[in-house]
Structure 1
Amino acid sequence: MGSQEAYQYLNPKSLSHYSNKNKRIKTTDAPVLIRPLLISEKLFFRKDVMDIFNELEINNQFDSLDLSNPVDVFEIAVNQIYKLKFEPFTPHTKKIWFNFVKNKLYESNMDEGHTKSLIKQLIYCTELLIKATAKLEKEIFSFYSNDINHLLLGPKEIPKAYKKIFTLFFTELHSQLQELAKLSGKKLFNLDNLLTNHLKSDSKRNKTIYKFQDYLDLYHYANDIKFHKSKAINDVRLNIKGKSCSRYDSMWLFIITNLNNPWNHGDIINLPSIDLSMTKITDLEWLEHNEIDYEDAHSIVKQVGDLDSKRLKTGIQQNFLISPELEQAFATAAAICELRRQIESSVQPLKLIDFKTTSQKLKHTHRPYVEFFREFKPNFRYENLKLSRTLISFKNVVLTEFVEPDDESIKHARGHSNLETTNIYVQIPDEHLDFLCKQLFSRNFFGNIYYKLSEIFYGETKDRTEQTKRIMGLKDQFGKVLRVEGIVSVINDLSNDRKTVYEKINGMDTDTAKSLHLRISCNAMPAKEENYQCLNYPNGCLYPSRSCSMCPLSIGNYLAVMKIVNDLMSNIYKALNIFKSGKEQEKIVISNHLHQNLLKFSACVTQFTDKDINEIYDLISIDRDNFITFLASLPYEQYITYRPRLEV
């Protein structure tokens, strides 16, 4: 077919790629007589064009699937989109393979991009397995080691990722059938004879990191708000006019995020969209002539942090961190990305970053990269994993040279990251220690222990209401809601415990207090519960029967507060339904749970300033007065059988 007909199936860019670069579409020179009738002097093989067209159509169908249930996506893709079928004589192979796939998908905890990639790999492995069993006309457990090597583990055209999946599959299969084979007298394939070349790690893999000065230079460059804001807004306006643009806003936000978070590419591009109606930002015009203030910047960072408080690839909870010094730059970049996202289309994915490249990949030749780094150091080459590896290495240096923790606290401080690091020595000037701590470690701690240490560390005096006054004010704050027997008395007992701790802190010399403050700032004093640190670490828990929320030695972070608030609100909504139509025993159970939630909530709010307390009500999404009225309307007091007390 001629190019004009081929364009009905593939756009010019795709046709050129698959015929010139990829070579999957074969071409031939057109006969001289018909050349004047053609746009191009080449003819394209019809079968090749249609094969590519059908392949792209199938991929588009797959990409449109909702990935919320990966197992369903796999089954729909295999049965309905790719239409893969096992031969009738291999029913056991199909059952064994599908069970393996389901378990692998259930056990995986990945972001959307990695999940989609894994499902596609499993689909192609399914196709290879079907072809292999069809060729030998037997079930997979009847294969010899040579069969497996020849058809699935040996061929060079099969990617290493697929071979690794097959190796795991055959290892599990061998383990499951070994006992059965002994009983039946049948011989299984020899696991030791399977090829393993694809399992060897790439020793040439680059594991270098950036020098501290390079990190510092990139930090200052990305934090130049006036410079980048102008470029990002102008680029979005080009986009609105339908002109060629560089997605500068996405690149800026990507870099700022990576400066504080040692995340991989897939995690960063999944930053969720934000609600600008909670800020003073109205449109690009407003943003061009105004700077985002602290309250709005903090609100935007909090929104992203609330929705992205898990490292999706590892499934382990980890604070999303933007240091105070980068908050305004992050908020500005995020706001521009959100405004651009809204303008482009309401059906776009609810994510801030969009490079408009295949699978959101980013290469050094892509325009977002080229334009963003055009005026930075000419010999600098940014790499996401290299910067993430650098942050982890910096963390290790801060921890081992300045904090001197044990192995457990290092693991806790790193957020359990399994990113490979390097043994290259990193020299960090002493004068940059506090700066680096702010960039690498979350400081969203609450409680007077941390505040008192901060006063010593920074030499500041904070105007804070006395703890006893705040506790006595509980009744005024919550009225009848907290006049339930036990709560105020327990808080008073907890206050006395805290006073003893504060007195010991006030008696510390400056060096001891600063050392303790640094350890807390670096998350190097893990407690028995997530999102808390323990002042008594590593000497063990002094109050094993108490939760960390009720311990005078605990230092909680923002996520600990979120959990307390979420548990409280969850039980409040449950109580509403139960009090309407529930049974007597159900009302007693929910009332006791609610009473325990209120106790933890009270212990929490007595440690906050008024400004901090307002942030708690932001989490609840209703103001203080409405919350108190709402809570007071629940008749839970008459059903309480639990009387709180402080356990030892």
Structure 2
Amino acid sequence: MSFDKNKLLTTKETAKLLSLGSTTAVLHLIKKKALPNAYKQDSAWKIPLNDIKNILDKRKNSIDTKEAMEILRYNNTTSIIDLINLSIFPNAFKLNGKWRIPLSDIENYKSKSFQSLSTTEAAIELGLSSNAAVSELIRRNIFPNVFKFQGKWRIPRSDFDEYKKIYYDNDYLSIDKIMIILKKSRSAILSYIHAGVFPKSLKLNGSWRVHKDDLKNFESHLVKKKNALKMQRSKYNSNKRIKLNDDPLVKDYLSAKDISDNLNISRYEVHKLFKDNTFNQSMKYGNQWWVPIKEYEKYLIYRKKIELDIENSLTVKEAAKKLGYKNSANIVELINSYNQFPHSFKHNNTWYIPKKEIEEFQMKKVSKNRKIDYTPSVAAKELKEFVDNFDTKIELTETKKLFKQYCSQQINKIKGSNRYVRDRILLYKRFYKKIVSNMNNEIFLLSTEEINSFFQDSSSFKKGEKKILILFLKYVYNQKAIDPEIEFSLLSNGFREKTKELYSPEVFFEIYQYVKNVNIHIPSSVNNRSYANMWVYTILLMTDFIRGQDLILKTPNINLQHLDIDDLKWFNDNHLTDFQIESVIKQLYIHYRHQRSNKTDELLTFIVSPDLKEPLAYGLVISELHRRSVESGLILNTFTEGKYNNIRTEGKISHKRFFDKLDNKYDFLFSSRKMNNTVATYLFYSIAEEDGEDSDLALHLTQVSRSHNRGDSTRRYIQATNKDGSINRVAYNLFKRGHFGWLYNYLIIYLNHLDHVHHTLEDRTRLIENVRDNVSPSHLENLAEFTLNITLPSNESNQNIESFLEEMYNKRKNLVSKLQGYTKSEIQEILVKLSRGNLPSKNENAQCLISPSCINPQLTNCFSCEYVIPNNLILIQLNEEMLRLIKRLKEEENHLLMKRETKFLLHTLFVWKEARLAFGNEVVNTYIPSQKMWDEINKISHKLKLE
């Protein structure tokens, strides 16, 4: 593409050229000065084409953090952001709020990893027995350009060769040789090294070495100092104090004035040195203070050390700025209360902290915050090393081998958080330690009595370890083809099923109303990330059936690009529009479509109550802005802690403060598990009523929503309680599914008619009336409302529209007749299959009543089929299909083909109408912009063929 650098574009043209979704994104780029030469002309922005070319060039020659993560084989984008913060990618930049990394930086980083050595390789080259000594050299910054690649230290070959050259250099002398040359003690030499007198000195394999140049300079310095002192005495002799200098008592002393002249400091500063007892051996003689020359020499060494220390240190104010603390008081607290900087010192009432200690503290801070991705492969390696290094008797060699095989198999099946995987590995370690300590023979050779002793109450094996023993025994016997005399089990001890606690309908309703109060929660959420996270978490628990752990790990980060919100201050004067709310919630719907539970690997079912959409959207947007400010990987990251990402599903103290403003007349205490149980129970009763008291179907639908794979697992979440109107009313809004359309509604109502269920809720009554209308010719005629919005040619006949509607009605009427012949169990089976997604259609987000059969195999989608049962996410595909048909009609000239495309378009318009009736115009407008769509339809109205 050739660019005219003088050409000017509008914001709309710029958005199109940069593939941005709206002009708002362009305004954001202008605000961030990414388009530096943009200017306003007659209240409209003008953007030079050259500015856009610069952005395109940057984008073309760079990648985002996710792509960098995949190229460099990291497990998350947080590692890439850490590298950016450490200036590993020096040319990284932000574009539209997201990091971009030049490909040249990536290549440099990758090439470094191949022109470098590991700590093990470095140790081998230096002839060291282990890499621990090399790690110590890294800690002491001997290799200035050392870096980490895939979590391990790499030493650049140039750094290593430089060190190696010094390592074998004969110009470096040991302390023992220096002691002989200078006739000084070891402690004196070490004090000189620490004072910086020998700046080229270095420590090799734990021993200090001093360069010959430093020694030569030091000897020269001693000679000069000696001559200077002689000259100083000569000066004294020519002064009025000749008599005093002749006095043997001050022959080897310097006066306060001598020190003042020599150091070029005021007499006041000299007297302060005396006052502070800097010179312990000073004396007052002849109305003057005198200091022994030897003590003065020591002071000069100390003074030089202080000057060097200050040069290599930062003040507390400078340290606070570097470490990101608000003020210097935080640093002073780290010094005094936590001893974080052991070599910090005070000079002239000012604290100084060595730069090296600040860097070490910074690295510790980064290391502490860096999470360990405790994958099954990491866990397996750790457990294998433990078993291999454990002192196992030679008689148990086969048992050891079998246990490693068994663990390898089990670890591959583990699902869950880092913390859960870590806990399982620790349990396997404890079990192995106990089993091999309590056996003197291979496990498959033990008698039934010996094994049974492990299960007794007096046994040292705990319940979890006994469970592993049962599974391990089964594995061993299977591998050895042994048929055991008995099957070992814990059932004889009996299981006591825990009673599942629930929140009463009154408490549940109180919390439900509390989380909806956006005016209370917005200010606190803006000021506190934990508060905002707890708002989101509580709403999701109250409206969904996803475990707390899955919510924390799988709630997606929110794309704010099209919302035009980039700062928490936005909420001081603004409110989310309905369109913005729906845009946020839509992201959750789309994200959870293919997410699976960590515990059961079942697909998660995401549902949100309509009246909780607004508070949830506010909480998510605010949490996302907090997440970006700290560059965290998870939007709900405040619920994790430690390097293994331990998940606190019950929340921390900071989270519990979310409920401080609650009028807590029922003594509410937050529990994520209790909330899960409560919502699942209310779902059960809501569906039981919806289903005509059929508890089997209710249990199954609850099971699907809870992402369980067995019915008995679900029963543990259903706690008996009185079924009354309050539960019904509290639960009613929780369980509106994403399915819509006349056929889905008819199935539910027809099932209720079979049981003659009496509905008391006004909403239920209206639903029945709507469904009855929905299968009548009068309701079908509402489709004509669409055609009234289209500017049709005058010669088009209403008779043609009526004919089309009559055809649709007849198809529906025939289908209703068929359904009336279904039994209650057949309708139930259809609803169960729908709830599990077992009736697939050609459209991803729709199901088919007669699946896997198809009455229209020649069609590529199901929009025109009377057997289709759509889901709200089909609106994404519907928007694409409508635009495709409009484009075809624009380009088509063949009369027959235009007639066919017109018919398909009218079917899509009908589905659009049903969606608007089911969800409301504002919700559907998020997926299909109404005004924009009608503008497009009007453009091809003259081509619609309805005859």
TM-score using structure 2 length:
0.42
- Asked if 1:444 corresponds to 2:732, the answer is no
Check conservation: 2:839, 2:852, Cα contact below 8 A: no
Equivalent residue of 2:638, what SS? coil
- Asked if 1:351 corresponds to 2:635, the answer is yes
Question: 1:494 and 1:130 mapped to 2: Cα distance?
Answer: 76
Question: 2:404 and 2:875 mapped to 1: Cα distance?
Answer: 42
- For 1:424, the aligned partner's letter is A
The answer for unaligned runs of 5 or more in structure 1 is: 1-37, 41-55, 183-187, 237-246, 477-490, 509-515, 535-539, 569-599, 629-648
Change in CA separation of 1:198 and 1:75 when aligned onto 2, cut-off 3 Å:
farther
RMSD of aligned C-alpha atoms? 5.4
Equivalent residue of 1:333, what SS? helix
- Asked if 1:387 corresponds to 2:675, the answer is yes
Residue 227 of structure 1: how far off its partner (Å): 0.2
Equivalent residue of 1:369, what SS? helix
- Asked if 1:101 corresponds to 2:407, the answer is yes
Provide the residue aligned with 1:234 in structure 2: 527
Check conservation: 2:684, 2:698, Cα contact below 8 A: yes
Which runs of structure 2 are paired with 1:21-100 in the superposition (5 Å)? 64-65=372-373, 67=375, 70=376, 72-79=377-384, 84=389, 87=392, 90=396, 92-100=398-406
Which runs of structure 2 are paired with 1:364-403 in the superposition (5 Å)? 366-378=653-665, 379-403=667-691
Question: 1:164 and 1:603 mapped to 2: Cα distance?
Answer: 59
Residue 451 of structure 1: how far off its partner (Å): 7.4
- For 2:832, the aligned partner's letter is P
Residue 330 of structure 1: how far off its partner (Å): 0.6
1:141 to 434, 438, 444: 444
Equivalent residue of 1:308, what SS? helix
Which runs of structure 2 are paired with 1:472-511 in the superposition (5 Å)? 498-500=811-813
Provide the residue aligned with 2:473 in structure 1: 170
- Asked if 1:427 corresponds to 2:692, the answer is no
Which runs of structure 2 are paired with 1:126-205 in the superposition (5 Å)? 126=429, 128-129=431-432, 132-133=435-436, 136-148=439-451, 159-177=462-480, 180-181=481-482, 191-192=486-487, 194=488, 196=490, 200-203=494-497, 205=498
Residue 327 of structure 1: how far off its partner (Å): 0.4
Residue 325 of structure 1: how far off its partner (Å): 0.3
Residue 555 of structure 1: how far off its partner (Å): 2.4
Which runs of structure 2 are paired with 1:186-225 in the superposition (5 Å)? 191-192=486-487, 194=488, 196=490, 200-203=494-497, 205-225=498-518
2:622 to 309, 331, 336: 336
Question: 2:423 and 2:389 mapped to 1: Cα distance?
Answer: 13
1:259 to 520, 532, 542: 542
Check conservation: 1:269, 1:354, Cα contact below 8 A: no
Equivalent residue of 2:723, what SS? coil
- For 2:372, the aligned partner's letter is S
Residue 466 of structure 1: how far off its partner (Å): 6.5
Question: 2:549 and 2:661 mapped to 1: Cα distance?
Answer: 24
Residue 216 of structure 1: how far off its partner (Å): 0.9
- For 2:379, the aligned partner's letter is F
Question: 1:198 and 1:361 mapped to 2: Cα distance?
Answer: 34
Change in CA separation of 1:155 and 1:384 when aligned onto 2, cut-off 3 Å:
farther
Provide the residue aligned with 1:632 in structure 2: none
Which runs of structure 2 are paired with 1:540-559 in the superposition (5 Å)? 545-546=853-854, 552-558=866-872
Provide the residue aligned with 2:757 in structure 1: none
Check conservation: 1:253, 1:334, Cα contact below 8 A: yes
Residue 217 of structure 1: how far off its partner (Å): 0.9
Residue 198 of structure 1: how far off its partner (Å): 9.8
Residue 254 of structure 1: how far off its partner (Å): 1.4
- For 1:375, the aligned partner's letter is L
TM-score using structure 1 length:
0.59
Equivalent residue of 1:287, what SS? helix
Equivalent residue of 2:869, what SS? strand
Residue 225 of structure 1: how far off its partner (Å): 0.7
Residue 162 of structure 1: how far off its partner (Å): 3.3
Change in CA separation of 1:314 and 1:298 when aligned onto 2, cut-off 3 Å:
farther
Question: 1:558 and 1:448 mapped to 2: Cα distance?
Answer: 14
Question: 2:461 and 2:565 mapped to 1: Cα distance?
Answer: 51
Residue 603 of structure 1: how far off its partner (Å): 8.3
Provide the residue aligned with 2:46 in structure 1: none
Check conservation: 1:253, 1:333, Cα contact below 8 A: yes
Residue 269 of structure 1: how far off its partner (Å): 1.8
Residue 220 of structure 1: how far off its partner (Å): 0.3
Between 85-94 and 391-400, report the one with greater CA deviation. 85-94
Question: 1:610 and 1:496 mapped to 2: Cα distance?
Answer: 14
Check conservation: 1:251, 1:372, Cα contact below 8 A: no
Provide the residue aligned with 1:327 in structure 2: 613
Provide the residue aligned with 1:315 in structure 2: 601
Residue 286 of structure 1: how far off its partner (Å): 0.8
Check conservation: 1:393, 1:426, Cα contact below 8 A: no
Check conservation: 2:623, 2:636, Cα contact below 8 A: yes
Provide the residue aligned with 1:590 in structure 2: none
- For 2:854, the aligned partner's letter is R
Check conservation: 1:163, 1:198, Cα contact below 8 A: no
Check conservation: 1:210, 1:390, Cα contact below 8 A: yes
Residue 456 of structure 1: how far off its partner (Å): 5.3
- For 1:390, the aligned partner's letter is T
Provide the residue aligned with 1:525 in structure 2: 831
Which runs of structure 2 are paired with 1:569-580 in the superposition (5 Å)? none
1:284 to 558, 562, 568: 568
Residue 616 of structure 1: how far off its partner (Å): 10
Q: Residue deviations 1:180-236, cap 9 Å, x none?
A: 336xxxxx5x545x5727974345x34232221211111001111110111111224
- For 2:519, the aligned partner's letter is K
Provide the residue aligned with 1:293 in structure 2: 577
Equivalent residue of 2:444, what SS? helix
Q: If each structure's strand is expressed as a fraction of its own residues, which one has the higher value?
A: 2
Change in CA separation of 1:81 and 1:103 when aligned onto 2, cut-off 3 Å:
closer
Question: 1:504 and 1:353 mapped to 2: Cα distance?
Answer: 54
Question: 2:906 and 2:633 mapped to 1: Cα distance?
Answer: 39
- For 2:870, the aligned partner's letter is G
Question: 2:659 and 2:384 mapped to 1: Cα distance?
Answer: 44
Equivalent residue of 1:330, what SS? helix
Provide the residue aligned with 1:409 in structure 2: 697
Check conservation: 2:839, 2:851, Cα contact below 8 A: no
Provide the residue aligned with 1:485 in structure 2: none
Question: 1:406 and 1:533 mapped to 2: Cα distance?
Answer: 22
Equivalent residue of 2:639, what SS? coil
Check conservation: 1:77, 1:83, Cα contact below 8 A: no
Q: How many residues align?
A: 478
Question: 2:922 and 2:807 mapped to 1: Cα distance?
Answer: 23
Check conservation: 1:78, 1:84, Cα contact below 8 A: no
Residue 155 of structure 1: how far off its partner (Å): 7.0
Q: Residue deviations 1:535-568, cap 9 Å, x none?
A: xxxxx97666239985634523246778x89xx9
Question: 2:410 and 2:577 mapped to 1: Cα distance?
Answer: 46
Check conservation: 1:264, 1:388, Cα contact below 8 A: yes
- For 1:139, the aligned partner's letter is E
- For 1:403, the aligned partner's letter is D
Question: 1:267 and 1:297 mapped to 2: Cα distance?
Answer: 23
Q: Residue deviations 1:36-79, cap 9 Å, x none?
A: xx999xxxxxxxxxxxxxxx99x989961353xx2x23222224
Change in CA separation of 1:467 and 1:375 when aligned onto 2, cut-off 3 Å:
closer
Check conservation: 1:256, 1:330, Cα contact below 8 A: yes
Check conservation: 1:232, 1:336, Cα contact below 8 A: yes
- For 1:444, the aligned partner's letter is G
Question: 1:132 and 1:175 mapped to 2: Cα distance?
Answer: 19
- For 1:143, the aligned partner's letter is L
Provide the residue aligned with 2:113 in structure 1: none
Larger radius of gyration: 2
- For 1:74, the aligned partner's letter is A
Question: 2:813 and 2:470 mapped to 1: Cα distance?
Answer: 59
Change in CA separation of 1:527 and 1:75 when aligned onto 2, cut-off 3 Å:
closer
Question: 2:654 and 2:370 mapped to 1: Cα distance?
Answer: 28
Equivalent residue of 1:277, what SS? coil
